[in-house]
Amino acid sequence: VDSLKKFNPSQLRGVFHCFTGTPQMAQQIARLGNFYYGIGGPATYKNAKFIDQIAQIPLERIVLETDAPYLPPVPFRGKRNEPSYVVYVAQKLAQIYQISVSEVEKQPSQNVKTLFFGTSDNLF
């Protein structure tokens, strides 16, 4: 995070891959540019301390990721990860945000379109 402070926030955007930080860290990152927080398999782990606070980060700033072949979600922990397992991350976030899985799937998809294409309109 400190290395980003020397740049102009209006020119920065990206994803903090495999984010497991605190809400305070997320706020600090938000001030540094147009960043999203990549949430993957570790969000499903029993002892994931960061997950209790993840609801403080707006869903409009979250993207789902798998980090395949590493960090598979529960119930595949210890096995090779694959992109199809991202649904387990979405299910966990639905529990946390107390919304449907389809809502969780929709918002991060829009976030990806906005991040990489500048819009979420009619891209795919």
pLDDT tens digits, 51-108: 888 999 999 999 999 889 999 999 999 999 999 999 999 999 999 999 999 999 999 9
pTM for this prediction: 0.89
Tell me if 21 sits within 8 A of 42, measured CB to CB.
no
pLDDT tens digits, 41-50: 999 999 998 8
**Which of the four pLDDT bands, split at 50, 70 and 90, describes residue 124?**
very low
